[in-house]
Structure 1
Amino acid sequence: MTTVICTSCCRIGPPPPPPSLSCCPERRPIDLALIPRSIAKAMTGISWASFTANAWGGCTELAGTAGAKSGCAICYARTFLERKHLVRWGAGERRVRFASWRARVLRLDRMARETGLRFSVFAFSLADWLDPEVPPAWREEFCAIVEACTHLDWLLLTHRPHLARKLAPPAWVERLPDHVWPGVTVEHATHGFRLAHLADVWGDSGRLWVSAEPIGGSLAGVDLSIAACIILGGASNTTDPEWAPAPEHIGEVLEAYPDQVHFKQWGVFGADGAFHGRKERAGRAWNGAQYDWTPWPRHRELLKAAAQAERMAA
């Protein structure tokens, strides 16, 4: 039996996460045989989650408010899905339903139960779960499966929090399931109203989070203190220099909320504003340090070890 002790999900540098939010406070050995290679290899490249889940794909862009850039203008999901000729983006266009996601997340939930470790699932990376143009039955099925998969932490991101009371399950509006983390995109200060909309519904849950990626301007005017986590990052799907993140905009968030930020990346533009072509070349360090913590478990190093161990055994 090959075992490892999971040390992922922990902040690099002080302070450590609260014990109640630590993914594996006992640092107990985990039998890697409990994590199939096919699952380990499916770990997302998104640093702040373990896996992604997409019950459907497709969406409609939201325009930025006056004077603000909208991340929808350089949407990775649109580029990805249209390149594969799966959907046409926009209002009135057909959303495409994915058949395999249900069995996949049920398998993830079973693995989490068997290992005794929680894993985080980001939904959606290719759509918006509160898209009003999605057939209601699709969202009902999705939410039912989320409710059933209680061994996973679900990170549900939207640009449309104003529709939460209308489109989310009524039971969720009354009381959010303990394993659901509602998030909202706020890429510019003028979009801070989105966080207020989300907080109006689930502000007392303690599990709100903000995606400030791709950051499109200063967030100094937005009170982000209610966010359990702030995902911060530059654009990765554009060559437009107007999307190069300003270091002062990154720095003001890190300085104001150092214990809440996961700095994912500079993006395709580095800290110096130069175009690097690939986000990996620009890195994700701020003043030599990485801000890697999240309040939900990820176990990314464990998943990497599981993939490597099974490959070596083969």
Structure 2
Amino acid sequence: MAKNSRIEWTTHTFNPWWGCVKVSPACKHCYAESWAKRVGSNVWGIQAERRFFGDKHWAEPFKWDALAAASGIRARVFCASMADVFEDRRDLDIHRARLWKLIEATPHLDWLLLTKRPEIISQLAPWGNQWPANVWLGTTVETQEYAQERLPHLTAIPASVRFISAEPLLGPVDISPWADRLDWVITGGESGPRARPSSPSWFRDLLNSCMARDVAFHFKQWGDWAPGQGISLAKARIETVSDGTTMIRVGKKHAGRELDGETWDELPVVRTA
């Protein structure tokens, strides 16, 4: 959990538990798994136990909600950065039920639920066709294959905000078949010691699709790899990506988060009907 999160598109993060199972190529170099192992938590995989937390941990969002109410400024809560709320395990049901009640009891917080398992959202969430106004529901879309697999499930759910996380972006993605039912696209490249470079054209195509269809666009980062034009680094690692761009491994900090000279931090408009 982190108040004032360093993740660019949220205010805070909240984890009802730690642990998950890898299900698609975006999971290959999972930062959450690496972090859990670094701090000595063996919580990844089907057989592994999940890590749970006590009442003090669960009380923090109530404080954030009170602050948001007092300031008149809503706060966004990413849930969960170290897990998937919709992992299909029965030992998680009691903690999920507690989470649903917490979301309903904190109306000044917008809860960002991001999953790679949108096909079972309706089975595990209790809200049917009447979702709380403060739930923003998203799914990870790293390639067109996963867009076609996951977006029909996501866009069928009447959440006030529906979004995709195309991060790490591992191939071109055309969102046009679902764009009228999407509100926000978050995208970015991969970071970390084994990061895979993305083609700049993949980001530009997503941006153009969002602009054409009035979908909010957020470019989170280049990741460890940046376009090589104008960069001269001795002994730098270089890779040519699918659109012909020379990408240079410069590290996340130096790569930055400008796309064609601009920072894209757009936020969605909440649906009212």
Q: TM-score, normalization: structure 2?
A: 0.85
- Could you give the per-residue CA deviations for residues 54-113 of structure 1, whole angstroms, max 9, x where no partner exists? 0100000003xxxxxx11111111111111112331112111012343111111011111
Q: Distance in 1 between matches of 2:174 and 2:269?
A: 25
Query: Equivalent pairs: percent with the same residue?
Result: 33
- Counterpart CA distance in 2 for 1:223 and 1:74 is 29
Which one of 71, 95, 98 corresponds to residue 141 of structure 1?
98
Gaps in structure 2 of 5+ consecutive residues: 229-246
Q: Secondary structure at the match of 2:101?
A: helix
Separation in 1, partners of 2:139, 2:193: 22
> Would you say 1:62 and 2:35 are equivalent positions?
no
CA distance in 2, matches of 1:104, 1:87: 25
Deviation at 1:296, TM superposition (A): 6.8
Aligned counterpart for 1:255 among listed residues 208, 221, 226: 208
Which of 115, 126, 131 aligns to 2:71? It is: 115
Is the counterpart of residue 218 in structure 1 residue 172 in structure 2?
yes
- CA root-mean-square deviation: 1.9
- 1:46 maps to 2:2: no
Instruction: Please tell me whether the aligned partners of residues 231 and 263 of structure 1 are also in contact (alpha carbons under 8 angstroms).
Output: yes
Counterpart for residue 244 of structure 2: none
The alignment's TM-score, normalised by the length of structure 1, stands at: 0.74
Q: Is residue 231 of structure 2 the alignment partner of residue 276 of structure 1?
A: no
Structure 1's 144 and 296: CA in aligned 2 closer, same or farther, altered over 3 A?
A: farther
Q: Which amino acid aligns with 2:133?
A: D
Kindly indicate whether the alpha-carbon contact (under 8 Å) linking 1:189 and 1:222 is maintained by their aligned counterparts in 2. Answer: no
Highest RCO, 1 vs 2 (Cα 8 Å, sep ≥ 6): 1
Query: In the alignment, what sits opposite 2:238?
Result: none
User: SS at the partner of 1:135?
Assistant: helix
In the alignment, is residue 164 of structure 1 matched against residue 121 of structure 2? yes
Instruction: Work out which of the residue numbers 9, 27, 30 in structure 2 matches 1:72.
Output: 27
Distance 1:207 1:164, change over 3 A: same
Give the stretch that moved more between structures: 243-252 or 100-109: 100-109
Q: Distance in 1 between matches of 2:177 and 2:168?
A: 18
C-alpha distance in 2 between matches for 1:50 and 1:179:
14
Q: Distance in 2 between matches of 1:177 and 1:285?
A: 34
Per the TM alignment, residue 229 of structure 1 is displaced from its structure 2 partner at its CA by 0.6
The number of residue pairs the alignment matches comes to 245
Q: Are 1:184 and 1:194, in contact at CA under 8 Å, matched by a contact in 2?
A: yes
Q: Does 1:124 align with 2:80?
A: yes
1:190-209 correspondence to structure 2 within 5 Å:
190-192=145-147, 193-202=149-158, 205-209=159-163
CA distance in 2, matches of 1:269, 1:130: 31
1:21 alignment partner in structure 2: none
Runs (4+) off by over 3 Å: 221-224
- 1:88 matches 2:43: yes
Letter aligned with residue 55 of structure 1: P
Structure 2 Cα separation of the partners of residues 108 and 88 of structure 1:
27
Comparing both structures, which one devotes a greater share of its residues to strand? 2
| Equivalent in the alignment of 1:3 | none
Q: Which amino acid aligns with 1:219?
A: V
Deviation at 1:221, TM superposition (A): 6.3
Paired residue for 2:189, among 234, 239, 249? 234
User: Which whole-Å deviations, capped at 9, do the CAs of 1:2-48 have from their partners, x for residues lacking one?
Assistant: xxxxxxxxxxxxxxxxxxxxxxxxxxxxxxxxxxxxx9x93111111
CA contact (8 A) 1:75 1:237 kept: no
Counterpart in the other structure of 2:264 = 291
1:114 Cα deviation from its structure 2 partner: 1.3
Q: Is the 8 A contact 1:120 1:296 kept in 2?
A: no
